[in-house]
Amino acid sequence: MNNRPILTFLVFVVISAAAWLVVKLSENYTTQAQFRLRIEEVPADRWLSSPEQNVNFSMTTNGFHTLRYKMMREQKRVVGLSLTEVPYRFENGTTYSFSSSYVAEQVAEMLGVNVNDLTMNDSKVFVNMDPLMSKLVPVTLRSDIRPQRQFEVYGIPVLDPATVTVYGPEATIDTLKSVSTQWLTKANVNAGFTETVALDLLDGQIQSEVKTVRATVRVEKFTETDIQVPLTHPDSLHVRFFPDVVTVKCHVSLKDYNGLTPDMFRVEVDKGQLEALQPLLDLSLTAWPPYVQVLNVTPEKVEYLIVQ
């Protein structure tokens, strides 16, 4: 049996159907459509009660673009608009507005159509932004810095800026004492460095116009040294201590090593124990340079003799 006429007929049907579909899709259609609008980058001193809302519009374009919209999943029908990029105006109370033409431009770009093909149902988009409380707080660096052997962090890291103004609900701002950074982690460090670190804004509970700070960390080579420090004598008694000089073991940077002297340290006995005539007196280090890391004081206790 010759199937050639049937195959020819089927090919003709397919070609005719394809041609009909192309003709139909080339025609213009008007479709009611909806996108989800996400408002982004709200001013730091404002809180947006509803960051997302629906926007409705009609679209008059060819069938190809209409079909593209119809086939787009609802989760994909979302456009974001930054309030730093659109001029918004005050309406009343906590209500602000901006032209819906800015939304139309975003939607048209996503759908690949001319913006003139879209007609927004509303000429304006309205948003409610409530004012937030503000507070100037210090910034605290959270860090895990691990220098190489014989190197250590020198002093306290310097933050720029050291304070920031944060905004948030009254209940949050009232109890806020400082704002921390995200963790700054570095290992095998042998030199100072400066790095930009993001602020931890508590998962959006607070806001700030400042998003990052610059942390400057000094790293120096350190050495261990022993300083012989005379004990400080009480003013009211004539006492001799045994020993009367103690050893303060500490870490100090090489840059500060030559300038370290015993008079920078102060070691005192426990006056309460002395007045109680206890046989041994505990020692405490009461003063030392801030750039020195004290390891221990030897001995921990001393004997004494009250001189009449």
**SS3 (DSSP) at 190:** coil
Q: How far is CA 177 from the centre of its chain?
A: 16
Q: Which of 221, 253, 281 is the last residue of a domain?
A: 221
Alpha-carbon distance 77 to 59, whole Å? Answer: 14
Alpha-carbon distance 237 to 80, whole Å? Answer: 78
User: Does residue 81 lie in a domain region?
Assistant: yes
Q: Would you say residue 1 has pLDDT above 60? A: no
Q: What is the pLDDT of residue 21?
A: 47
Q: Which of 131, 164, 190 is the last residue of a domain?
A: 131
Instruction: Show the tokens assigned to 118.
Output: 């879209």
Q: Which domain holds residue 240?
A: 223-306
**SS3 (DSSP) at 176:** coil
Q: What is the pLDDT of residue 89?
A: 92
Instruction: Show the tokens assigned to 307.
Output: 């001189």
Alpha-carbon distance 134 to 136, whole Å? Answer: 7
CATH number of 202's domain: 2.170.120.40
User: Does residue 3 lie in a domain region?
Assistant: no
Residues 119 and 86 in one domain: yes
Helix 63-71 to helix 4-26 angle (10° resolution) is 90
User: Does residue 6 lie in a domain region?
Assistant: no
Residues 190 and 217 in one domain: yes
Radius of gyration of the chain (CA): 37
Alpha-carbon distance 265 to 228, whole Å? Answer: 9
231-275 residue pLDDT tens: 988 776 788 999 999 999 999 999 999 999 999 999 999 989 988
Residues 44 and 116 in one domain: yes
Alpha-carbon distance 56 to 31, whole Å? Answer: 11
Going by pLDDT thresholds of 50, 70 and 90, the confidence category of residue 27 is low
Q: Which of 111, 131, 151 is the last residue of a domain?
A: 131
Instruction: Show the tokens assigned to 197.
Output: 């670190």
User: Does residue 117 lie in a domain region?
Assistant: yes
Number of domains in the chain: 3
Instruction: Show the tokens assigned to 183.
Output: 């963790």
Residues 200 and 227 in one domain: no
- Closest C-alpha to 135, from 84, 79, 206, 74: 206
Q: What is the pLDDT of residue 77?
A: 86
Residues 127 and 137 in one domain: no
39-87 residue pLDDT tens: 998 888 888 878 899 999 888 876 667 777 877 888 888 999 999 899 9
CATH number of 250's domain: 2.170.120
Residues 234 and 284 in one domain: yes
Residues 243 and 158 in one domain: no
User: Does residue 50 lie in a domain region?
Assistant: yes
